[in-house]
Amino acid sequence: MFTCSIFLDARSSGAGIPRRLTSLKEILQRLDNRLELLVVDDTGDRRLAVLAKHHGAILIHAEGTPLGDRLNLAVTHSQGEVLLFPAQGASLTLDWITRTIASMEHHERDAVVRTQQPSSRLARLWRRLHYHPFSDTLCVSRVWFDRIGGCDPSLDADALPDLIERLRACQARVDNDPA
């Protein structure tokens, strides 16, 4: 069984998906049999099948539903005990991934939010009010993801911020990890 499942959404990633797959390919190769990469696609772009196969990713086809529903679908196809939802444009390092997975395997924390911008409550409110895209990477244990019912399937851009808020409200051990 895989230790960690990494999820990319084709619609959210847009034209940057080849670059994101390439940056994750080396990490996948170095942590062989510990990571799986899943790409959920509701765009119908036929080039994604070739890209996914080339980079060792699993392609999951979805209907044109909100992001929360697409991510829930992808999680049902995954095997990882740790679920990683990288932010758009976020660079993930091998060191950060291995440290985060290890801390979750040892039950030191239930979720980690790697912030790209200041994590103050006021800054988060400002981003929401001005429609800035969500820019935090979320890593959560499958147990907690399942316990709170996954992402809200009716939410699109707010699916992951809502998931983080529900994790905190349910007393999950959520740590902030500035990038």
Q: How far apart are the first and last CA of the chain?
A: 29
DSSP string for 20-81: HHHHHHHHHHHTTTTEEEEEEE-S--THHHHHHHHTTEEEEE--S--HHHHHHHHHHT---S
DSSP-derived 3-state class of residue 35: strand
Q: Give the model's pLDDT for residue 50.
A: 93
Q: Distance between CA 153 and CA 68 in Å, rounded?
A: 4
Instruction: Enter the pTM of the model.
Output: 0.86
Q: How many domains does the chain have?
A: 1
Q: What is the residue-level pLDDT of the chain in tens, covering all 179 positions?
A: 568 999 999 988 888 888 888 888 888 888 877 899 999 999 888 899 999 999 989 999 998 889 999 999 999 999 999 999 998 777 788 899 999 999 998 989 999 999 765 556 776 676 666 554 456 899 999 999 999 999 999 998 899 999 999 999 999 999 988 76
Q: Give the model's pLDDT for residue 77.
A: 96
Range of the domain at 64: 4-176
Residue 113, domain CATH: 3.90.550.10
Going by C-alpha positions, the residue among 164, 157, 177, 179 that lies closest to residue 9 is 157
